[in-house]
Amino acid sequence: MGSSSVKLRVGSLFMNVGKSEKHDPDIRQTPHVNINPFTPDSLFLHTSDGQSRRRKRTYWNDSCGEDMEASDCELEDETIRPAKRITITESNMKSRYATEFHELEKIGSGEFGSVFKCVKRLDGCIYAIKRSKKPLAGSVDEQNALREVYAHAVLGQHSHVVRYYSAWAEDDHMLIQNEYCNGGSLADAISENYRNMRYFTEPELKDLLLQVARGLKYIHSMSLVHMDIKPSNIFISRTSVPSMTSEEGDDDDCSSDRIIFKIGDLGHVTRISSPQVEEGDSRFLANEVLQENYAHLPKADIFALALTVVCAAGAEPLPTNGDRWHEIRQGKLPKIPQVLSQEFLELLKVMISPDPEKRPSAVALVKHSVLLSAAKKSAEQLRIELNAEKFKNSLLQKRSCSLHLREDIAKIEEIQRWLKGMIRGI
């Protein structure tokens, strides 16, 4: 290794690369790394200088094993924090996109950029790669792009949040590798329904509401809010799952297609406490956010979710402003062109209440009797339908056996007549 050395201190985010003997050992070079504002560590990294500059031996039990020496967990003379934020330009690299991925098709575009369906050359799996439309370095959009990466990285895996894999920069453009959802977006499904003159049925609407509420419950539990819930940011994954546990020796195919809704596009995510709010789509924006009242930010996601469900129910396009916009913010549901149960309409109505405190939380929604009863009814209906199909199959098998038996008897009788004829001839 020569005179160069690489030194990494666990738990302190301190890295000294290629330190020479000429350097004063007390002078430490601050690493150039971004601070993710959504992680608990960011709170530590942003602590005041006066409180943390002269602590000598602080131990992070979460970062160090019991068999590590205390010196491995030592916090040095000053709080370690980046000298500056790394820009998109500084993280540029040789085209990873072209090297690692084969582009199949463009599957979407929006304010941020375009999304491509790609297969990764190494693992052969399909991913969605989002690429910014224009160079982001130094632009206002750069912070939003980094915010999305930060949020994805912190949220990790949840069945109702689009999974994040990695992000990088090329030619000053941001690229984000996410889970590919084979059903497209909810906005796509709504448009398709509109062309075919159909709507999501009430059971489907309740399922949509329940699944997205579960995703929001998880996001809110991480002390984050989405702030841009709308149909184009809800994605659909269609998967084949067993309807029930197959019985031993039962070769029947009991699988069925299941639709899973996932929350994506996290470019507006912010903390519940000390938020930095970037207003989302005005059609789904709660009035208190417009008035810069951020005391109940999770309830703004609930407001937007109710209007998302209303759109899926077949309502006309929502207004961006004007009298109809204000009527909705006063608690009046847009006109829905199908008959829905009163209890479901009441739930949607309370979700857009002008008073955010009256709106149910995501935790309350996933336990709501209207949605739970629908889930139970759906499961029970599935069992009834499955039993009915098994009964039909049993009858068909019996009929089939009976038909074959009649055919066999007819053949035997024919043989008997032939034998009798042969005997008479003798």
How far apart, in whole angstroms, are the C-alpha atoms of residue 183 and residue 204? 15
What is the 8-class DSSP label of residue 355?
Answer: S
106 is in an annotated binding site: no
How far apart, in whole angstroms, are the C-alpha atoms of residue 304 and residue 230? 7
CB atoms within 10 A of CB 367: 12
341 is in an annotated binding site: no
φ/ψ of 247, rounded to 5, equals -80, 155
6 is in an annotated binding site: no
DSSP helix/strand/coil, 321: coil
How far apart, in whole angstroms, are the C-alpha atoms of residue 399 and residue 409? 15
Tokens linked to 114:
């375009």
- Closest to 162 (Cα-Cα) out of 145, 177, 146: 177
Q: Single out the catalytic residue among 141, 228, 281, 301.
A: 228
Q: Say how many residues make up the chain.
A: 426
Tokens linked to 402:
């009976």
How far apart, in whole angstroms, are the C-alpha atoms of residue 308 and residue 185? 12
109 is in an annotated binding site: yes
What is the 8-class DSSP label of residue 163?
Answer: P
171 is in an annotated binding site: no
The answer to whether 228 is a known catalytic residue is yes
107 is in an annotated binding site: yes
Contact criterion met (CB below 8 Å) for 328 and 336: no
314 is in an annotated binding site: no
Q: Scan for tokens 């709504």, then name that residue.
A: 190
115 is in an annotated binding site: yes
What is the 8-class DSSP label of residue 159?
Answer: T
112 is in an annotated binding site: yes
- Closest to 289 (Cα-Cα) out of 382, 225, 205, 335: 225
Contact criterion met (CB below 8 Å) for 264 and 318: no
Residues making up the binding site for ATP: 107-115, 130
Residues making up the binding site: 107-115, 130, 233, 265
Residues making up the binding site for Mg(2+): 233, 265
Q: Annotated catalytic sites, by residue?
A: 228
